[in-house]
Amino acid sequence: MFNKRTKIKALLSHGVVDQEVVVMGWVRTFRNNQFIALNDGSTSQNIQVVVPLGSVDEALLKRITTGASLRIEGKLVASLGKGQSVEVLANLIEILGDSDAEKFPLQPKKHSLEFLREIAHLRFRTQTFGAVFRIRHALAFAVHQFFNERGFVYLHTPIITASDAEGAGEMFRVTTLPMDGSAPRNEDGSIDYKEDFFGKSTNLTVSGQLEGELGAMAFSEIYTFGPTFRAENSNTTRHLAEFWMIEPEMAFCDLEDNMNLAEAFVKHLIGYAMEHCADDLAWLDTRLAEEEKQKPQQERQEMGLVEKLKFVLDNDFERITYTDAINILLQSPAYKKKKFQYEVAWGIDLQSEHERYLVEKHFKKPVIVTNYPAKIKAFYMRMDDGCEPGKETVAAMDILAPGIGEIVGGSQREERLERLEARMEEFGIPVEEMSWYLDTRRFGTVPHAGFGLGFERMVQFVTGMGNIRDVIPFARTPKNCEF
């Protein structure tokens, strides 16, 4: 019975007028005791179901409320009213599931994002979140398409890990030991993880990169795309405790190749969304424009959402070295007028305000900053040759996007064993425990590079959503693990 149904997207795009159809979906609004706006999630568009006057008894009519699920048999006809080209003239209406109008929290009106966040289990049924999560899906698909077309192998790196060497942040502990104080102890009073499930201390992964490198040393190119966990007490619009990250890793690849791939990748994702999610982007574009109107003129974005995406697609990303970036900042009017809260000097880590200045004020487009000081970057990044003593840099690159900040972080990896070991020692990383990683450098090491792209930040960028909690179905953040 159900497989006879036509999805609303199909009906609206290529439905044949005067044909008998079956549609199913949820009621968005019911106007005039006669017009049902029905949505099944296949598109942001609703289909209008017309209930012929007097054809349905009062009791059933009263059950057609916002949120109720319906099965409609009827005929697709050209619409008499404005606002839609076709509609379904119903001859049978079946209520699949009632929705108590007094209790269902979604109303046919504009709700705040904050309120919808509290009812995240229902917010998919709104226009905005429908659009956001259809786009999220499209982007996920485009990730696989991009790498598949280029011969990358999708490698499933582990989620539970024993290495805490990446140093990408605080980790969530994974254990089956009792938490009531009765866990087995060593002689010095510390917990004896030899008795734990894995026989050692384990955590949730903060990055699949190190394992990814192992794959790249066999398949040439791999990528990972999976959940990542950081136990940082971050309370911002761009951090989650559980998020999804894409990490390609390429053998026979240097920093420039890495940048070229990252830029092509970001553009592919944007282009895919623009091609396949035009409806949803148009809705979000309008929503954002209305939001912008509420803001004072100075704080408004110069470009609309679609305009911004097109602009990013059509222009090369600016590529500058960290040293150039510092010089630009030092010569900026903002610096001279002492507008920066944090100091600017070679060797500092770029602060949010500095990145924003470069991206939003100076270049007004995505910027790739390269060759950061070695001291502020991770141990595995390749030391640049021929540096002035005291000004050693590494082959790192960050892509900074307007409004989001760092969307990609990557580097060419240190492939020279002695150099890598020296760096690990410097960073206090136990070389013996990482022997498996160092084997890549012992046996057929090659120049290689890779990067990590925060998937939610990419979804934020494409959808224009300001808060990262609104682009993941169920956000996990400090003090919040609902649903």
Partner RNA sequence: UCCCGAAUAGCUCAGCUGGUUAGAGCAUCUGACUGUUAAUCAGAGGGUCGCUGGUUCAAGUCCAGCUUCGGGAGCCA
User: Of 274-333, which residues contact RNA (CB under 7 A)?
Assistant: none
* Residue 448 near RNA by CB under 7 A: no
Out of 308, 365, 423, 457, the only residue in the binding site for RNA (CB under 7 A) is 457
Q: Looking at beta carbons only, is 112 or 331 nearer to RNA?
A: 112
Tokens (6 digits) for 175:
């254990």
The Cα–Cα gap between 121 and 349 comes to: 39
* Residue 469 near RNA by CB under 7 A: yes
Task: Please report, for residues 4, 27, 63, 72, 87, the alpha-carbon distance to residue 51 in angstroms, rounded to integers and kept in the order given.
Answer: 21, 13, 13, 10, 11
Smallest separation, CB 408 to RNA (Å): 5
* Residue 73 near RNA by CB under 7 A: no
Any idea how long the chain is? 483
Q: Looking at beta carbons only, is 164 or 439 nearer to RNA?
A: 164
Smallest separation, CB 221 to RNA (Å): 19
Say if CB 274 and CB 313 are below 8 A apart.
Answer: yes
Out of 6, 43, 44, 66, the only residue in the binding site for RNA (CB under 7 A) is 66
* Residue 72 near RNA by CB under 7 A: no
What residues from 109 to 168 belong to the interface with RNA (CB under 7 A)? 109-112, 114-115, 117, 168
Out of 31, 200, 295, 361, the only residue in the binding site for RNA (CB under 7 A) is 31
What residues from 384 to 443 belong to the interface with RNA (CB under 7 A)? 405-409
CA dihedral 292, 293, 295, 297 (to 10 degrees): 100
Contacts of 320 (CB under 8 A, 6+ apart): 328, 358, 367, 368, 369, 370
Out of 73, 164, 232, 439, the only residue in the binding site for RNA (CB under 7 A) is 232
Stretch that binds RNA, among 99-107, 172-180, 216-224, 318-326 (CB under 7 A): 99-107
The Cα–Cα gap between 177 and 195 comes to: 8
**Which residue(s) pair with 245 in the sheet?**
226, 454
* Residue 53 near RNA by CB under 7 A: yes
Report which of 87, 77, 88 is spatially closest to residue 22, judged by C-alpha positions. 88
The Cα–Cα gap between 280 and 128 comes to: 8
Out of 102, 314, 385, 388, the only residue in the binding site for RNA (CB under 7 A) is 102
What residues from 157 to 216 belong to the interface with RNA (CB under 7 A)? 168-169, 207
The Cα–Cα gap between 336 and 325 comes to: 15
Stretch that binds RNA, among 106-114, 219-227, 326-334, 440-448 (CB under 7 A): 106-114
Out of 1, 16, 80, 179, the only residue in the binding site for RNA (CB under 7 A) is 80
The Cα–Cα gap between 257 and 105 comes to: 50
Stretch that binds RNA, among 82-90, 131-139, 154-162, 268-276 (CB under 7 A): 82-90
Q: Looking at beta carbons only, is 146 or 193 nearer to RNA?
A: 146
* Residue 453 near RNA by CB under 7 A: yes
Report which of 196, 226, 211 is spatially closest to residue 161, judged by C-alpha positions. 211
Q: Looking at beta carbons only, is 301 or 467 nearer to RNA?
A: 467
* Residue 34 near RNA by CB under 7 A: yes
Out of 19, 55, 85, 237, the only residue in the binding site for RNA (CB under 7 A) is 237
Q: Looking at beta carbons only, is 111 or 362 nearer to RNA?
A: 111
Say if CB 184 and CB 198 are below 8 A apart.
Answer: no
Stretch that binds RNA, among 30-38, 217-225, 382-390, 415-423 (CB under 7 A): 30-38
The Cα–Cα gap between 124 and 474 comes to: 11
Tokens (6 digits) for 237:
């619009």
Q: Three-state SS for 55?
A: coil
Parallel, antiparallel or unpaired: strands 318-321 and 242-251: unpaired
Smallest separation, CB 199 to RNA (Å): 29
The Cα–Cα gap between 419 and 380 comes to: 10
Out of 19, 55, 148, 352, the only residue in the binding site for RNA (CB under 7 A) is 352
Out of 48, 205, 371, 412, the only residue in the binding site for RNA (CB under 7 A) is 48
User: What DSSP character marks residue 384?
Assistant: P
